[in-house]
Structure 1
Amino acid sequence: MPESKLTQRQKIIFKTIVEEFTRVAEPVGSKTLMQLLDFPVSSATIRNEMAVLEKAGLLEKTHTSSGRIPSQKGYRFYVEHLMETHLDVSTRNSLQQVFRERHYSLDEVVEKSCDILSHMTNLTSIVLGPDARHQALQHIQVIPINSKNAVAIFVTNQGHTENKMFQFEQDVSVEDIKNCTDLLNDQLVGTPICDVVDKMSEIEPMMAAKLVRHEVLFEAFVTAFMRFATEKVAVSGRDNMLGQPEFSDINRLKELMKVLDNGRLFHQWTDQADNVAVQIGTRNELIQIGDCSVVTTKFHYNNEEEGQLMVVGPNRMQYSKVVALMDYMSNVIEDVFGNGKGGKDGE
C-alpha cells in the first residue's frame, strides 16, 4: 500500500510510534499504543494496523522485541507529512534574550548558536558561518590602540565585515600603521579573499620599502587574512553522542568524531551519492546517512550572506523539537542582524 493511501487512524498510530520511539529508544508494542492513543481501539486492531504500516515500509521489526520501530523511509514520511513543530513560550523568550543582551560579532553568534543547539537537543550541533572566501576585499581600516595593539576592520564587496585584534611583538608607530593601511587599500581592493594572501606576498617588497616594521605588519595581516579566508565552523556537543544507544560501538563513534572535526570530511560525508535528502518546509532539510541523520536550516546575516545550523544524531531523534528550535533560532539571528526574514520575533 502506498503511504499516501494510509487511513487517518493508521497515520495517527504511526505518528504515535515515531514520537514514542524517539523519546524512549525502545520498540513500541500494541499494549503501549493502547495507553498512548486518545481513542479506544483493541490490541488486535493495532497489531493489524502495524502490519499494514510495516508492509508499506514505514515500520520495522526488531530482533529483540515484538514491538516496531520506524524505518528510514518512515522517518522521512513523518517529517514530510505528519510532524508538528512547536516551541514553548519560555524557550522562545530565553532564545530572544540570549541574542539581544548585547551586540555579538559574527564569530560569537556562530559559537553561541552551536552551544545552545547542542544543549537543548542533547545532540551534536554544527553551525557554519557565511563563506566570505569568494567575496572581494573592498576596504581595510586599522585603528591603533597603543604601540603594540590595533584593531583591523575588513569589509568585502558584499558588506561582510570582520574585526581582527592585532597584538604586535614590537612597537609599531601610528605612521607605519597608516602607511601600511593606505598601501594595502591601494593594492588589495577588489582582490578575492581567497587570493589575498598570495597577493600579499607579491607586494611584500613594496611594504619593505615604505615601512619601518614591515615584517611585523606583514605577518599580522597575513595571519588575519588566512583566518578570514577560512570557513567559519563551530561544533558543540560531541559528548552527547556517547549517550545515544545507536553509537555504543566505540570504533563507530571515533569515525564519526573524526568527520565532525574536519570540515572537508564532513562535506564529503553529507554529499555522498547514496544519502537521501528530504526538504522540510522552505528552508530545512533532512539528510539521512546510514543510521545517522543531519537536519539543516539556513539563515541570512544580510541579503547576500547565509549561514547554516545543523544537528547531527541518530535517525531516532525528536525531529519536531529539533526543527522547531532550529527554525526559531534562525529567525532570532536574522532579526538581530536586521534581516528580519523570519517575521516579527520569529513568528
Structure 2
Amino acid sequence: MVTRGGNDAEVARVNADERRFEVLRAIIADFVSSQEPVGSKALVERHDLNVSSATVRNDMAALEEEGLIVQPHTSAGRIPTDKGYRTFVDRLHDVKPLTAAERRAIHSFLDGAVDLDDVLRRSVRLLAQLTQQVAVVQYPALSRSTVRHVEVITITPARLMLVLITNTGRVDQRMVDLGDVITDDDVARLRNVLNSAMAEKRLADASAAVADLPDQAPPELRDPLVRMCSVLIESLVEQPEERMVLGGTPNLTRNVADFPNSLRQVLEALEEQVVVLKLLAAARDSGTVRVSIGAENEALEMQTTSVISTGYGSDGMVLGGLGVVGPTRMDYPGSMAAVRAVAAYVGEILIGR
C-alpha cells in the first residue's frame, strides 16, 4: 500500500525535475541567443519561472552537479554542457512545426528547380539561410535508384549518345561508337528494346537485364546492341564516389568563439567531405531527425560541433541524407524543424519527378 506521504514525495520530486528542466531550457535559450554565461538573476528577470532567485540558484547547483551546466570562470554564470544539450534535445517531445508561410516559401523555392543539381543547390542554400548553419545534402545513392528512361540520340550515322536517367534525376551520358552506320528506324528499335528491358528496374537488376539483350536481338541489331549494352553495363555497375553539396560555410566563421582552437579542423573536415558523408549515412530514416552533439561525433575534428540530419526520399526508399553542421550552441528546435521540412520537400520533388 502506497502512503499519502509517499505520493506527496513523488509529486514533489517530479515537480522539482520539471522545474529544473525549465531552468535548463532557459539557460540554453539565453546562451544560444547571447553567447554569454547565464546567471540566476537574469533567468528570473527574463523567464516566467514562477520561483525565487534562491530556488533558481538551488536548481542551477543541482544541474551543475548532474553535469548539465558548468561555470566557465569564477563569478560567472553557467553555460550548457554537451550532456545538457543532449538532455534538452531528448526531451523535445515534438519538433516545432514551421509556419504556413515558411512552408510555402520552401515549397515555392524548391519547386522552381530544373534538375537534380539545381534541387540540391537550392536545398543547401535554403537550409543554410533558415538555420544560419552549414547545410549539407548528399547526392542520391545510385544503388537505391531505378531506371526511369534510356534515351538514344544519333550524333552521326555511326555514333550514338546514351542518356541514362534515374528516378532521382541523376543523368549519365555516354558515347557509343558503332563501327558502322545505322538508320533512324533501327535507332528507334534499339531505344524501345533498352527501355523495355530496363525501365523501372533497380540499377543492379537493370544491369543483369541488359547483359541478356544481345542474345535475344534480331541479327541486324546484334552488333550495335552489344556495343551499347557494354557501355550501359559499365555505367550501371560503376559506383562513383558519393558526392555532397555544401553551403553556408561562412556561417561558422561568424562565431569563432564557439570553436576554440578547432575551427580550422572543422573547416578542413567539411572540405574533405568524407567525415560528413559518414555522418549523413547514419541518417537512414526519412522523417526521423538525428542529432549528434559534441563528443558523440566519432571524428575528433567534429567534436566541437553538432550535426542534425535526416534521410530524404519516401517511406519505402531513402535516397540520401541531408542536414546541418554548426556549433553545439545552436537553436536545436528551429534547426531540427528546418531539416525535417526541407528533407520532406526534397524527397517529394525527387520521387515525384
TM-score, normalised to structure 1's length?
0.70
Pairwise CA distance, 1:299: 2.1
Pairwise CA distance, 1:33: 0.7
CA deviation digits over 1:5-49, x for unaligned, max 9? 843322211111111111221111112112211244333322111
Equivalent position to 2:35, from 13, 22, 25: 25
1:242 aligned residue: 253
Hey, what's the Cα distance between the residues in 2 that align with 1:162 and 1:60?
48
Hey, what's the Cα distance between the residues in 1 that align with 2:243 and 2:281?
19
Consecutive unaligned residues of structure 1, counting only runs of 5 or more, are 204-208, 340-347
Letter in 1 for 2:331: Q
Are 1:69 and 2:72 an aligned pair? no
1:144 aligned residue: 153
Change (3 A) 1:23 1:151: farther
Equivalenced residue count is 314
CA deviation digits over 1:189-227, x for unaligned, max 9? 98966x97xx99xx9xxxxx956xx8xx99997996698
Find the residue that maps to 2:170 and give its secondary structure.
Answer: strand
Find the residue that maps to 1:295 and give its secondary structure.
Answer: strand
77-86 vs 173-182, which deviates more? 173-182
Pairwise CA distance, 1:117: 0.9
Change (3 A) 1:142 1:187: same
Find the residue that maps to 1:18 and give its secondary structure.
Answer: helix
Aligned residues with identical type, % of pairs:
23
Pairwise CA distance, 1:167: 8.6
1:74-223 pair list within 5 angstroms: 74-82=84-92, 85-101=96-112, 104-133=114-143, 141-144=150-153, 152-155=163-166, 162-164=170-172, 210=223
Are 1:322 and 2:335 an aligned pair? yes
Find the residue that maps to 2:269 and give its secondary structure.
Answer: helix
Hey, what's the Cα distance between the residues in 2 that align with 1:182 and 1:243?
55
Pairwise CA distance, 1:332: 2.3
CA contact (8 A) 1:34 1:43 kept: yes
Change (3 A) 1:297 1:265: closer
Superposition CA RMSD, Å: 4.5
CA deviation digits over 1:225-265, x for unaligned, max 9? 6987332411111222111222253xx22322222233433
Hey, what's the Cα distance between the residues in 1 that align with 2:241 and 2:182?
30
Hey, what's the Cα distance between the residues in 1 that align with 2:144 and 2:49?
57
Higher alpha-carbon Rg: 2
CA deviation digits over 1:69-103, x for unaligned, max 9? 1111111111111475242332222011112335x
Change (3 A) 1:101 1:6: same
Equivalent position to 1:309, from 309, 322, 325: 322
CA contact (8 A) 1:302 1:337 kept: no
CA contact (8 A) 1:241 1:313 kept: yes
2:292 aligned residue: 287
Hey, what's the Cα distance between the residues in 2 that align with 1:241 and 1:223?
41
Find the residue that maps to 1:261 and give its secondary structure.
Answer: helix
Hey, what's the Cα distance between the residues in 2 that align with 1:303 and 1:81?
28
2:349 aligned residue: 336
CA deviation digits over 1:322-346, x for unaligned, max 9? 011111122223333467xxxxxxx
Change (3 A) 1:6 1:267: farther
Hey, what's the Cα distance between the residues in 1 that align with 2:196 and 2:103?
47
Change (3 A) 1:334 1:192: closer
Hey, what's the Cα distance between the residues in 1 that align with 2:96 and 2:105?
18
Letter in 1 for 2:290: E
Change (3 A) 1:167 1:9: same
Letter in 1 for 2:288: R
CA contact (8 A) 1:301 1:307 kept: no
Change (3 A) 1:4 1:79: farther
Structure 1 ranges of 4+ moved more than 4 A: 3-6, 137-140, 145-151, 165-168, 172-193, 217-228, 267-272, 279-282
CA contact (8 A) 2:70 2:78 kept: yes
